[in-house]
Amino acid sequence: MAQGQMAPGIVSGRLSSDELTSNFSDLHPPLAPHEAAVAADRCYFCYDAPCVTACPTDIDIPLFIRQIQAGQPQSAGRTILEQNILGGMCARVCPTETLCEEACVREAAEGKPVEIGRLQRYATDEVMVTGKHPFDRATPTGKTVAVIGAGPAGLACAHRLAMFGHDVVIHEARPKPGGLNEYGIAAYKSTNNFAQAEVDWLLKIGGIAIETGSVLGETISLDGLLENYDAVFLSIGLTGVNALRTSGADKEGVRHAVDFISDVRQAADLAHLPVGRNVVVIGGGMTAVDAAVKSKLLGAEHVTIAYRRGRDAMGASRYEQDLAASHGVRIMANVQPVAIHGNGAAAEIELEYTSSRDGQLVGTGETIRIPADQVLKAIGQSLDGAPEDLSLDGNKIAVSGAGRTSMPGVWAGGDCAAGGDDLTVTAVAEGRDAALDIHAMLNS
């Protein structure tokens, strides 16, 4: 097959523009004021609220819900944003079903939690729609900090530092800021270009400059940054992708799921985005679910998630698994890829059934073949491009305290740093806390 030629089964235009618009509409439409008031009335306003403990950013959830109940949604939004400046995006993408809402007393008593995520979106949207930034910048300190990466951790760190009066320059490798929020979130969770709108709103604090096309190890170096800035915060994410060591993995039609998701997010017209007729996604996390659901929404006829362990071990929550199933995605658990077959381009994937023996995952020898003209690899990402002088913990940057690395003057947070969950809300918390620590150092 000629270089750049598309595999035969992967075509664009499977659905009309109207069908695509409907398919990629808001997964959870915003609450109207009356709906928000009714949802807020269900909160018990627990004194020792378990939902707060379950929130990585420690938002005072009972307080902001009471403020909504009292008809003060903008005050509620400020309560949220004081702890989580990206509270609008987190309200859309957080796995609330395994965090605050799972801990909700209503969930334990009735099996139906307070809709904390939708209430958070209602409140933060009320703040953002005014266009006015709710926080003031302190008197400039003359200190400058370099933030590497304009993802959730980097943005949260930069904003808090700017509030303290420090000047911040964010160095971002890609053409747009936002990181995972811009390139990696399912399009049906973040609609109407919300990621960019949130970044533009965040920058209204002042004191933050963003330089795109600025790549650590290529256009900039850590040593150079340390010479020119008072501190450095690394939020470079996980840009490496794990390899699929399977026969046929180099065939046309086989690609990384993260690249597929990014293409969907950045597409000017979804009708021009090609998708296979029979799509198989390898993996069991959120990326796998997002890629599978997007494939279905683009018009793929058959979409299968193939995961090597049982469903209870999947990284994607049960809610996300059910979401995939509701869109017609088939989940095959306890199968692992053996080979991808086809004459130059993928046509079938061969899967081997697995089982657990003495705690080890092993193949049973029994295989099955299913049609697959497009195979999306969602088998994890790895750290790529970290400076060699930094100590690592496994395959991530080793940190202590609020993100301090082994190198003086350098902090790290988000997916690239060891110790936390790879979630937007966790990245925001780590960026915020690192900013507090950097500020303390700059003032010492």
What is the three-state SS of the chain? Answer: CCCCCCCCCCECCCCCHHHHHHHCCCCCCCCCHHHHHHHHCCCCCCCCCHHHHHCCCCCCHHHHHHHHHCCCHHHHHHHHHHHCCCHHHHHHHCCHHHCHHHHCHHHHHHCCCCCHHHHHHHHHHHHHCCCCCCCCCCCCCCCEEEEECCCHHHHHHHHHHHHCCCEEEEEECCCCCCCHHHHCCCCCCCCCCHHHHHHHHHHHHCCEEEEECCCECCCECHHHHHHHCCEEEECCCCCEECCCCCECCCCECEEEHHHHHHHHHHCCCHHHCCECCEEEEECCCHHHHHHHHHHHHHCCCEEEEECCCCHHHCCCCHHHHHHHHHCCCEEECCEEEEEEECCCECCEEEEEEEEEECCEEEEEEEEEEEECCEEEECCCEECCCCCCCCCEECCEECCECCCECCCCCEEECHHHECCCCCCHHHHHHHHHHHHHHHHHHHCC
Model pLDDT, residue 193: 93
pLDDT of residue 8: 76
pLDDT in the model for residue 240: 85
Rounded Cα distance between 80 and 100, Å, is 14
At residue 74, the pLDDT reads: 96
Q: Which CATH class is domain 242-377?
A: alpha beta
**CATH of region 33-128, choose from 3.30.540.10, 3.90.220.20, 1.10.1060.10, 2.30.30.90:** 1.10.1060.10
Q: Which residues does residue 367 pair with via DSSP β-bridges, in sequence order?
A: 352
Give Cα 261 to chain centroid, integer Å.
11
Q: What is the largest CA-CA distance in the chain?
A: 68
- Prediction pTM value: 0.94
Contact assessment for residue 287 and residue 315, using Cβ atoms and an 8 Å cutoff: no
- SS3 of 186-248: the string is CCCCCCCCHHHHHHHHHHHHCCEEEEECCCECCCECHHHHHHHCCEEEECCCCCEECCCCCEC
Question: Class of the 144-239+383-442 domain?
Answer: alpha beta
Question: Are the folds of 33-128 and 144-239+383-442 the same?
Answer: no
pLDDT score recorded for residue 96: 95
How buried is residue 165: exposed, middle or buried, by Cβ count under 10 Å (0-12/13-18/19+)? middle
* The two three-digit tokens of residue 369, written as one number: 């073949």
Query: What six digits make up the tokens of 394?
Result: 């496994």
CB 327 within 8 A of CB 337: no
* CA separation, residue 441 to residues 229, 247, 402, 436 (Å): 13, 52, 12, 9
Name the nearest CA neighbour of 339 among 244, 275, 259.
244
- In degrees, rounded to 5, the angle at the alpha carbon of residue 184 between the alpha carbons of residues 27 and 167 is 115
What are the angstrom distances between the C-alpha of 210 and each of 69, 150, 340, 380, 421?
38, 8, 43, 28, 26
Q: Average pLDDT of each block of 10 consecutive residues along the chain (444 residues)?
A: 61 94 92 97 95 97 98 97 98 95 96 97 96 93 98 98 98 96 91 94 97 96 97 94 92 96 94 96 96 97 97 94 97 98 96 93 97 96 88 95 97 94 94 98 94
- Domain chopping of the chain, boundaries: 33-128, 144-239+383-442, 242-377
pLDDT score at 5: 52
Amino acid at 52: V
